Amino acid sequence: MSDTQIATTRRLQSSKVPSSRIGRLFHYGGLAASLGYGAASELLRRTTSGPEDSQYTSSLVMTEANVSRLVSKLSQMRGAALKLGQFMSIQDSHLLPPQVEEMFRRVQDSAHYMPDWQMEKVLTSSLGPSWSDYFVSFDRVPFAAASIGQVHRAVLAATSSPTGKDEPVAVKIQFPNIKNSIESDLGYVKLLLTAGRLLPKGLFLDRTIRAMKEELADECNYTREASFLRKFGSPEYLGHDSRFKVPWVWEGSTDDVLVMERVHGVSVGGSMVDKLSQQDRNDIASRIIDLCLMELFSFRAMQTDPNWTNFLWNSRTRQVELVDFGATREYSKEFIDNWLRLIQAAALEDREACIEWSLKLGYLTGEENEIMLNAHIQSMQLLATPFKVSTPQPFAFGRGTHWAKITAEIRAQIPVMLQHRLTPPPQETYSLNRKLSGAFLLASRLGASVDCGCLWEDLVSKYSFGS
Ligand SMILES: Nc1ncnc2c1ncn2[C@@H]1O[C@H](COP(=O)(O)OP(=O)(O)OP(=O)(O)O)[C@@H](O)[C@H]1O
Strands 135-138 and 149-156: antiparallel
Of 8-12, 70-74, 449-453, the poorest mean pLDDT is in: 8-12
DSSP bridge partners of 257: 173
Residue 286 has pLDDT above 90, yes or no: yes
State pLDDT tens for residues 395-428: 998 877 788 788 778 777 777 887 888 887 887 8
Q: Which amino acids bring their CB within 6 angstroms of ligand 1?
A: 144, 146-149, 151, 170, 172, 247, 260-263, 305, 307, 309-310, 323-324, 326
What is the pTM (predicted TM-score) of this model? 0.81
Q: What is the reported pLDDT for 226?
A: 98
* Atom 3 (ligand 1) nearest CA: 262
Residue 337 CA to ligand 1 center (angstroms) comes to 32
Q: What is the reported pLDDT for 104?
A: 64
Residue 100 CA to ligand 1 center (angstroms) comes to 25
Residue 443 has pLDDT above 70, yes or no: yes
Strands 449-450 and 395-396: antiparallel
Other beta carbons within 10 angstroms of residue 221's beta carbon come to 15
Mean pLDDT for the stretch of residues 184-202: 59
* Atom 20 (ligand 1) nearest CA: 146
List the domains of the chain with CATH numbers: 21-36+60-113+180-218 (no CATH), 115-174+221-262 (3.30.200.20), 264-466 (no CATH)
Please give the Cα distance from 281 to 265 (Å, whole number).
15
Indicate the residue type of 90: I
State pLDDT tens for residues 60-105: 334 566 666 666 666 665 566 666 655 554 444 455 556 666 666 6
Residue positions annotated with a catalytic role = 305
* Listed residue (155, 173, 175) closest to 165, CA to CA: 155
Cα–Cα distances (Å) from 338 to 68, 121, 254, 303, 376, in that order, read 45, 48, 37, 20, 16
DSSP bridge partners of 313: 266, 320
Q: What is the reported pLDDT for 445?
A: 87
ipTM of the complex: 0.97
Task: Report which ligand 1 atom has the smallest distance to the Cα of 264.
Answer: 4
Residue 310 CA to ligand 1 center (angstroms) comes to 7
Task: Report which ligand 1 atom has the smallest distance to the Cα of 83.
Answer: 25
Cα–Cα distances (Å) from 49 to 98, 191, 201, 204, 418, in that order, read 12, 15, 10, 14, 12
Please give the Cα distance from 292 to 450 (Å, whole number).
14
Close Cβ partners of 271 (under 8 Å, ≥ 6 residues apart) = none
Residue 250 CA to ligand 1 center (angstroms) comes to 16
- pLDDT category at 316 given cuts 50, 70, 90 is very high
DSSP 336-376: HHHHHHHHHHHHTT-HHHHHHHHHHHTS--S---HHHHHHH
